[in-house]
Structure 1
């Protein structure tokens, strides 16, 4: 029996390693930690910079759109993850199913809110902005958390550290113009000059 177990062990180890590698390969990194390759900033590009492997968002209103080669920057069903850290009094957001535009708030898709202490807006982190809003502060400033956005069919889930905060299904007859599910890219929001928010480990898994 011991001999059989010893013979099986390398096979089990190889199978587990192959599975883990395959699962890891399903994720596509969207930010290399060193450059804005694949990203394009609109309106006020100086709002975005790279500090020690993370995207720093600090300046006048601007949006940083993913315009890279992954899925031709047109995502339908997906799981998106990013590590996020807010500083006190800051507001930001992650848009999805959106499109590049030169200025203004993105007119297409939805926004997953990032706001732990920007009291002028009661919509807190992980709200599906102005659609399914969370008003509870769920995470402190100056600490990293992982935000996950998943879209599958008409179903949107937004999580913080794997805890579901928003669970929303878009109705078949919804009428909100272009603020609906379709397909599109992602954008990070620079909200105002007094807000400073960081993003890193940005990745997506198409479904």
Structure 2
């Protein structure tokens, strides 16, 4: 019996060993064989089983990239970073002569020891900017350890990209822009000479690229971001999200002052809905477009990108019957504006015509997380009389309507002549034509 039990135990151990995930170590612990430095001139050193990156003044971001490229994989590594030094680890990244003269671009696992605490978030280096911040994930923000070794994990399988920081889920992203590329360690450029010589260290850098479905982690309940243009993930569908624009047709939309979609002024190309430039006039070209359906309680998300000096807006509680004359249809407005160039930013009261503000009524908070030249995500939350504006995961406006204070606020605005403005129980969603080119995509809504 003893021999049988011993045999069974050994067999079990062998089977467990055979089933264990097979890792390939990307760093041999001694030198930088298999790695190449790209773009900048910061220093990388290999010693004692660690790679150390050293910050240097007057150089752009520097990357130490694997010579080999990877497609689907699970990557793990440990890192320790100086508290004043931003860094990251690139994956599915590339350096191509035809793209900004070889500029490294692609997904980055953020290493962020600042009070913002976005370590584990996903940044699209030299391309689209932030894809997944940690604003809505406080558990991950708290997981990073200052002045200690931290453990990172990245699962990149098909369009699914997930990250962990010290075994705490950090990011859950769907994206399909790049499917293959190298791994690279970043030493970020520095703006202050006093930060020269600070370090970021990595060790135990290992990757697996076989039988990945057996080893992916389960039970990830953090918010998911779907960056695949104009699609709904299985999770979004299960949560009740609907596309307001399908990325191809005019279905579900019409002109605010006509029964059909505008014949000019709007175009749909490359998964983007564009209102075209026409001189800066309010609804003087194609005119505003509105949803054919009315909405009451909802969460609305829309990605937008503005051209220099542009003006537009996303309106809600819109009643197209209120204004049959010139100008835009009437409703509460999430202002879209180039605050740096457009003169409207300096009009109104205390900045209530700036980007993200409830136009002409409530100013958005200062230091908004706007990304110039990139798509930004506007979110409008309506629960009865409670309304919120969000920009890139940061709440920038919050108010209550249908009360004395709201009505007094309206009476001191340009909307004072419109009866019971902003108090309707429901209304249509509107994208504004203000004579400037603005891009929209990923317009989706969840009714509450």
Query: Structures share a fold, TM > 0.5?
Result: yes
What is the CA–CA distance in structure 2 between the aligned matches of 1:44 and 1:181, rounded to whole Å? 23
Contact 1:47 1:58 in 2 (8 A): yes
Q: Offset of 1:100 from its aligned partner?
A: 3.8
What is the CA–CA distance in structure 2 between the aligned matches of 1:105 and 1:138, rounded to whole Å? 31
**Correspondent of 1:57 among 53, 56, 60:** 53
CA RMSD of aligned residues (A): 2.3
Are 1:112 and 2:109 matched, yes or no?
Answer: yes
Residue matched to 1:87 = 82
Residue matched to 1:38 = 34
Residue matched to 2:14 = 17
- Structure 2 counterpart SS, 1:19: helix
Q: Offset of 1:190 from its aligned partner?
A: 0.7
What is the CA–CA distance in structure 1 between the aligned matches of 2:12 and 2:109, rounded to whole Å? 37
Unaligned runs of 5+ in 1: 68-72, 173-179
What is the CA–CA distance in structure 2 between the aligned matches of 1:123 and 1:111, rounded to whole Å? 15
Q: Which aligned pairs between 1:148-163 and structure 2 lie closer than 5 A?
A: 148-163=153-168
From the superposition, tell whether residues 22 and 28 of structure 1 become closer, same or farther in structure 2 (CA, over 3 Å). Answer: farther
Residue matched to 1:47 = 43
What is the CA–CA distance in structure 2 between the aligned matches of 1:123 and 1:153, rounded to whole Å? 27
Q: Which moved more, 1:146-155 or 1:13-22?
A: 13-22
Deviations 1:19-78 (A, max 9, x none): 325525x111100111101111123455211242211111233100011xxxxx221111
TM-score of the superposed pair, with normalisation by structure 2: 0.39
Contact 1:150 1:157 in 2 (8 A): yes
What is the CA–CA distance in structure 2 between the aligned matches of 1:97 and 1:184, rounded to whole Å? 4
Residue matched to 2:72 = 77
**Correspondent of 1:7 among 4, 7, 15:** 4
Kindly indicate whether structure 1 or structure 2 has the higher relative contact order, using CA contacts under 8 Å at least 6 residues apart. Answer: 1
- Structure 2 counterpart SS, 1:74: strand
Moved over 3 A (4+): 43-46, 100-105, 135-138
From the superposition, tell whether residues 22 and 76 of structure 1 become closer, same or farther in structure 2 (CA, over 3 Å). Answer: same
Are 1:128 and 2:126 matched, yes or no?
Answer: no
Q: Offset of 1:90 from its aligned partner?
A: 1.3
From the superposition, tell whether residues 14 and 45 of structure 1 become closer, same or farther in structure 2 (CA, over 3 Å). Answer: farther
Q: Which has the larger radius of gyration?
A: 2
Residue matched to 2:143 = 138
Contact 1:150 1:156 in 2 (8 A): yes
Unaligned runs of 5+ in 2: 124-129, 136-140, 213-448
